Structure 1
């Protein structure tokens, strides 16, 4: 602590600690952009370091760690903030008897967060790749608060819907998740390409309606063919 300014010397602009944090953040944001634009498998650590303007090729390992550590750090930088929004929404919708309100509590925190990032952004495209990469499925943890609140929200949704066999309810939930993740990724890509921000309010409402409809859709029961009886 500086006795004159009362400011922690390690956090003042230009301090070694502040410079290290700035470099780490630059590496995270650069990696996120490259991953979003080119794909996880197409980007090397060396390319990230060079794009971030770092002369030392070991900068990524020094400031962050392994490639998995890097992807985990980028993911958490977004998911923690999405979790806070989800927690508020799920709590507010808890007493509602309308399935759509519970769906909205899971969809809107994400689209609202994406809206807060401005244009261009790379979060949706990056996360879409992370959650569908089989090599990362068990290695990049989701924020526990988000995971718990998401499960609370899903349980609330299904409590207001007709009971389905477990396999069918799992398929519908999976389809809804993929629809939200990839729709947002595509909207983000188009917005970045055109230079025109996505209408995230419209996207959020449209996805909420679509997912609600998907979950509420009547179950089609295939008729079981009866044994044919030959005429005498």
Structure 2
């Protein structure tokens, strides 16, 4: 009689690994649960529902694991962002996110994160449940302080756009690495330039409001 292996990833972890790959390459909404189940080597077509309850909860589970990795980096390199200059705040954020480029799982998750960056909650100041209480959210909120001269709606919109820019740039870099496309710059230059571009976006002059009839 064949024995069930007692080591190696659990069924739950195999489903997360499969979801990371297919959500990254086929899209969070495009990947089929049956394909995730098959890639995870499961015979039960309801394995996702059994272990997670839904596609959304599977997504939350894999993003929670990603967040734990980023939190660990932030806690080590910048445990207290209070009062730091804008560029140092952005450097901490981009550097922590950039560590995900170094593993296949991280690259998958960067491509997933870019698809759901609009869920951060920065526009309403209500963090997504996965970000509530994290050092990552604290760092994002601290980014608003150097922008205090701007009207609040502009500050929040710029922060949201900054997260979108960072997410999209890292996701594209992750895709290039996955597809073995030679990058134009090395990782150090790429991340430093991303910090500079994001700082320029956040600190760009705010045009005066258009007057009626102009």
Q: What TM-score does the superposition give when structure 1 sets the normalisation length?
A: 0.74
CA distance in 1, matches of 2:196, 2:21: 30
Name the count of aligned residue pairs: 204
Do structure 1's residue 122 and structure 2's residue 105 form an aligned pair? no
CA distance in 2, matches of 1:66, 1:93: 36
For residues 140-180 of structure 1, the C-alpha deviation after alignment (integer angstroms, 9 at most, x for no partner) is 7314343xx23432444333345110011111111101101
CA distance in 1, matches of 2:131, 2:210: 44
User: Which of 196, 200, 208 matches 1:209?
Assistant: 196
Q: Offset of 1:125 from its aligned partner? A: 0.9
CA distance in 1, matches of 2:203, 2:164: 17
Task: Look at both structures and tell me which one has the larger radius of gyration over its CA atoms.
Answer: 1
What's the counterpart of residue 7 of structure 1? none
For residues 5-62 of structure 1, the C-alpha deviation after alignment (integer angstroms, 9 at most, x for no partner) is xxxxxxxx933xx56x522211111111111111122222111111222222233333
- The runs of 5 or more residues in structure 1 that have no matched partner are 1-12, 228-232
What's the counterpart of residue 106 of structure 1? 93
Label 1:29 to 1:167 Cα distance change in 2 as closer, same or farther (>3 A): same
Does the aligned pair in 1 maintain the 2:107–2:171 contact within 8 Å? no
For residues 87-139 of structure 1, the C-alpha deviation after alignment (integer angstroms, 9 at most, x for no partner) is 3444355454x321122122211012x133158931111122233479xxx9x
RMSD: 3.2
Q: What TM-score does the superposition give when structure 2 sets the normalisation length?
A: 0.79
- The runs of 5 or more residues in structure 2 that have no matched partner are 121-125
What's the counterpart of residue 155 of structure 2? 169
The 5-angstrom pairing of residues 157-196 of structure 1 reads 157-161=143-147, 163-194=149-180
